[in-house]
């Protein structure tokens, strides 16, 4: 399979693994010194771990450093962990805070350039070329999606259509009139676009590339969007703590793993229980260290995302940066029902393998006096029965969840990020 060369920064994207490790070591020494000298909370963390900046010489020394997590960021809300003077901060974004105090990520001018660099690489890796009409549908606001896609599109020289979320009929009109070639959004909005196009009996002949993220993305869903929109679909990775969408990387046209920008981040895969590194190919929790961010670099941040290292070899796309598997789930999203451990993504993968099943579903975890049960509601066309759904889920999960089959369009929809898992407390019957 011959893949066209599409690079934003070819010398870095194709640098040898030896060259990347040398760059990582130099940048690790600098970032450790920066956070230690700039922030009292980091100095305390280092003291508790018994480590000083002079102890860090190479990338292998990273294991000496303390790990961080969301709790540290929430405790330092809003800017207690910032490593630059307030006057140097030019922008901020933050998480929703739906599970507690929100996480605030401040940016200096250089941080915005770093974000744009990472995102521009993602656009070019997907095949976007200067001048391509690029429709950006994530929210432009505190959530980082819209602005990250925007900063990167500008850096890549694309024609930006800052549509924002919702109003799908208008999105389709814009895409047709402006000949959109690249479409970006949350995963569930790709599904919504596909549904409305089908309802209106419309197509988008100029659309060729879809870049989706922010939600769990099973291979079945990826294939469904790709076939439904007749486009090449890419899975983009990044989070508030790493600096936003695209900062950690994306899959390339080979679609056999997500490239991580190793000149910008060091990643480790650890056993979630012990914190020790696992071997390449073994699944564990992803931990990253920011190497080039100024305002709030994260040191050994535990993401709770589960993945594995697929390869450190040069990819057929020409990139040398290592590849990880698509995120299988989050350590804290794992559900335990009737003694079985599973992730929502496994349910999605199973459902989408049933012919006639729709794109929308609900996973309802029902707790009765501390005991969990699960209900899976799905949409399906004529001929799909509850027995078919139950049988497929039992084969995949090892038990039979309750649930109902609704006609296509029968479950509620959200224009933005979809909510798939719901929790309900039920009293004793």
| Reduced 3-state DSSP string for 20-82 | HHHHHHHHHHHHHHHHHHHCHHHHHHHHHHCCCHHHCCCHHHHHHCCCECHHHHHHCCCCCCC
Strands 405-407 and 371-380: parallel
Q: For residue 394, give every residue at least 6 positions away whose Cβ sits within 8 Å of its Cβ, in sequence order, or none.
A: 400
Q: Which pLDDT value is given to residue 100?
A: 67
Global confidence as pTM: 0.84
For CA atoms 168, 171, 176, 182, the dihedral sign is: negative
**Rounded distance between C-alpha atoms, residue 351 and residue 390, angstroms:** 10
**Rounded distance between C-alpha atoms, residue 350 and residue 144, angstroms:** 31
**Rounded distance between C-alpha atoms, residue 271 and residue 298, angstroms:** 19
Q: Which pLDDT value is given to residue 338?
A: 66
**Rounded distance between C-alpha atoms, residue 396 and residue 418, angstroms:** 23
Count CB-CB contacts under 10 A for residue 377. 19
Count CB-CB contacts under 10 A for residue 119. 30
What is the enclosing helix (H) or strand (E) of 10?
A: helix 10-13
DSSP string, 250-318: EE-TT-SSEEE-TTTEEEEEE-TTT--B--TTS-EEEEEEESS-SSSPPSSEEEEEEE-EEE-SPPTTS
Nearest to 94 by CA among 116, 74, 109: 74
34-88 tens-digit pLDDT? 999 999 999 999 999 999 999 999 999 999 999 999 999 999 999 999 999 999 9
What domains does the chain contain, in order, with CATH numbers?
10-16+104-330 (3.40.50.12780), 334-426 (3.30.300.30)
Please name every residue paired with 301 in a beta bridge, in sequence order, or none if there are none: 68, 288
**Ramachandran assignment for 281, one of left (phi > 0), alpha (psi -120 to 50 degrees), beta (any other):** left
DSSP string, 74-105: HHTTTTTT--S-GGG--EEEE---TTSSPPEE
Q: Which pLDDT value is given to residue 1?
A: 40
In the DSSP assignment, the letter for residue 402 is B
101-134 tens-digit pLDDT? 889 999 999 999 999 999 999 999 999 999 999 9
Please name every residue paired with 184 in a beta bridge, in sequence order, or none if there are none: 136, 211
**Rounded distance between C-alpha atoms, residue 61 and residue 28, angstroms:** 9
Residue ranges of the chain with pLDDT lower than 70? Answer: 1-4, 96-100, 338-339, 369-371, 414-417, 427-429
Strands 182-186 and 133-136: parallel
């Amino acid at each position: 399979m011959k893949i066209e060369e599409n690079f934003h920064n070819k010398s870095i994207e194709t640098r040898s693994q030896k060259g990347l490790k040398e760059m990582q070591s130099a940048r690790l020494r600098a970032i450790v010194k920066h956070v230690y000298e700039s922030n009292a909370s980091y100095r305390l963390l280092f003291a508790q771990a018994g480590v000083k900046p002079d102890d860090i010489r190479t990338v292998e020394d990273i294991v000496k450093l303390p790990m961080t997590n969301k709790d540290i960021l929430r405790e330092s809300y809003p800017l207690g962990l910032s490593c630059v003077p307030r006057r140097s901060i030019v922008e901020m974004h933050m998480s929703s805070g739906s599970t507690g105090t929100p996480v605030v990520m401040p940016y200096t001018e250089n941080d915005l350039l770093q974000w744009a660099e990472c995102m521009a690489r993602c656009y070019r890796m997907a095949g976007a070329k200067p001048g391509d009409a690029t429709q950006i549908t994530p929210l432009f606001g505190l959530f980082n999606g819209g602005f990250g896609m925007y900063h990167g599109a500008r850096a890549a020289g694309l024609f930006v259509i800052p549509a924002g979320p919702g109003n799908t009929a208008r999105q389709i009109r814009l895409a047709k009139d402006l000949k959109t070639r690249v479409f970006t959004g949350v995963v569930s909005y790709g599904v919504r676009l596909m549904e409305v196009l089908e309802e209106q009996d419309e197509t988008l002949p100029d659309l060729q590339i879809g870049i989706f993220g922010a939600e769990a993305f099973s291979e079945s869903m990826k294939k469904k969007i790709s076939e439904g929109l007749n486009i090449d679909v890419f899975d983009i990775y990044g989070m508030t703590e790493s600096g936003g969408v695209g900062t950690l990387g994306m899959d390339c046209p080979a679609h056999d793993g997500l490239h991580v920008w190793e000149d910008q981040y060091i990643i480790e895969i650890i056993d979630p229980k012990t914190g020790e590194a696992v071997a390449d190919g073994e699944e564990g929790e992803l931990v990253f260290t920011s190497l080039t961010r100024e305002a709030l670099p994260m040191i050994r941040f535990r993401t709770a995302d589960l993945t594995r290292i697929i390869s450190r070899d040069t990819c057929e796309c020409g990139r040398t940066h290592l590849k990880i598997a698509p995120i299988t789930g989050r350590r804290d999203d794992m559900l335990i029902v009737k003694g079985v451990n599973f992730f929502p993504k496994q349910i999605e993968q199973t459902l989408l393998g049933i012919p006639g099943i729709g794109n929308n579903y609900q996973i309802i975890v029902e707790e009765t006096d501390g005991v969990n049960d699960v209900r899976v509601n799905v949409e399906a066309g004529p001929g799909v029965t509850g027995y078919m759904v139950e049988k497929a889920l039992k084969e995949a999960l090892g038990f039979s969840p309750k649930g109902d089959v609704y006609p296509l369009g029968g479950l509620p929809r959200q224009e933005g990020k979809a909510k798939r898992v719901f929790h309900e407390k039920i009293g004793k019957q």
